[in-house]
Structure 1
C-alpha cells in the first residue's frame, strides 16, 4: 500500500481528501497545514508521495516547500490548488512536480495522477540504480589491470581503457574511431580478425592471438579474448576485447606451469621405474634363453635382436625425459601416421617380454596381423603414442 501525505491549510478539504484516499486503498500517513510543517513532517515520515496545496499561511508557500522536499528528500509532489494562472504554473514547474490538479477535483482525476506519479517515480528509481551500476562498471573497466577494448562489428574502436593507453601509448582520442586493422602488426592480423568475427557471430567466445602494435610500431598486444554484446533483440552490436601484454602474460604462464610441470615429472618418474623394469625383464629373459640356446644361431640372433630393441627403448625413454625437462614442447615433431602401423610396432616391441614367458611356460600363442582393420591417419608424436600402445 502506497504511503501518502496531505498538505493543505483548510481542515475541511484535508479531511475530505483523506477519506477519499483511504477509500482508494492508499495509506495516509500524515497531514500538515503549512509549508513549514510539511518539510519537517516529510523528513520524519518519508512518504511515497505528497499532495501539496500551493497558497497557504506562513513564511513560504507550497511551491517553496516542494523545492526543499525535492532537493533534500527526492519525494514526488502533486500540487492541489485553486490557482491555474500562468504565474503559479511557471513557478510550479521549477519545483519539478509530478502533477498539477486544479480544485475542485474529481476522485478519478486524483487517482490517475497519483498512479502515474508513483509509476514515474519507480521508473526514476530504477533508472538511478541502473546508472549507478553502469558508473561502477565503467570504473572497473576503466581501471582494470587488463587492457580492454570495445569495437563495433566492423572493427571500429569505440572505447579503450586506461591500461590500453598505458601499454600502447595511444591516447583515447587518438585511437577511438579508428579501425583495429590500422593497428595490425603483421599480415595475419586481418585474417585473425575475420576468424574472430566469424566465431562471435556464431555466438561463441573467441580466444586467440590478435597482434596489435604500439604507437612506436612494436608489438604491444597479443593474447585476446573477444565476447559478443547483444541488444534487447538479440542482435550483436559490438565486441569486447580483453588483451594482456605479451611479456606479462608469458611470465605469468611460466609461473603457472612450474608447479604443474613438477607434478607431471613426479608421475613420469614413477612410470619410468615401471618402464625400466619391463625393459630389464626382456633383457634378463633373453640372456636366459641365450644361456640355454647351445649352438642354435637363430635363437642367438633373435635374443641379441631383442636385447638391442630393449636397450634402444630405454634410451628413448631417457631422451624423452630430457626433452621434457629442458625445453618447451611444440608440435614440430608431429606427423600424420597410420595407427595400424604404430600398433604393429608396439606389438613387435612387446613380443620379446611375453614370448620368453610363453617359452618358459610352454604356452602356445598366435598373432593375427591380417585381421587388423584400417584406421584413419592421425596427427601425433609417433614416439609418445607408441608408448601409449606399448603400455596398454
Structure 2
C-alpha cells in the first residue's frame, strides 16, 4: 500500500511515518502544506492519504481532499484535533473513509486503513485457493526481518543470543545483528523453549551455541563473547541442562 501523509505537526508526522514503516507500507511522500501535498499526489499517486485538516498554507486539509477526489478518487483518512460538529460536517462532504481525532489510536488507524482499501478496491484475495490456510505459519525454522524495503531471511538456529535495548530486541548471529521492534516476551513466544532459554532479564541464549558457563562470574560464553547469567535464572538453567 502506497501512503501519502499530509501533517504539519512534526511529532505526529514522525509517528505516522514510523507507523507506516512498521506496517510494511510504502511512504510516497510527507507534506506540511497544501501545494507540496498536491505535487506529491500528482508525481507519485498514493493508494491512500492520511490527512490533517489544519495544515500550513492557504489550502486546508478539506480543500485538499476535494482536489484529490476531483483529480483521482483516492481513499482519505482525516486525522485531526478538531472534534466540533461544524468541522466534521465540512469534512463529511468530501466523503472520507475515516475521521480520527488526535491523539489517534494506532490500532484504530490500522483498521481504518484496511477498511478504506477494502471499500475502495474490494478484496485482494480473489482466486486464492489457499484461503483456508491463511493463518498457518510458514516455515517455522526461519524468520523474515524487514530491513528498509527488503525482507531478509534469518534462520532461527543461527541466532546465538538475543538481547534487549529499550523497546528493541537485538538478534545476534555470527555474521551480523538484526534489530527488531518487539518485546523479549513477544519474541520468546516465537522461539522453541527446548533450544532457547532466558538467562537474564534482558537476554535469551541458544543453548546449542553455548561454549561454557562460568558459575563464579555468572557469565555464558558464546562464539568468544560473554553473555550475562542472572543469579535468579541460574538454577533454572542448571536444572534444564544435561550434566554429568
TM-score by length of structure 2 reads 0.49
Question: With CA pairs under 8 Å and 6+ residues apart, which has the higher RCO, 1 or 2?
Answer: 2
Larger CA Rg, structure 1 vs 2:
1
Q: Write 1 or 2 for the structure with the bigger share of strand.
A: 2
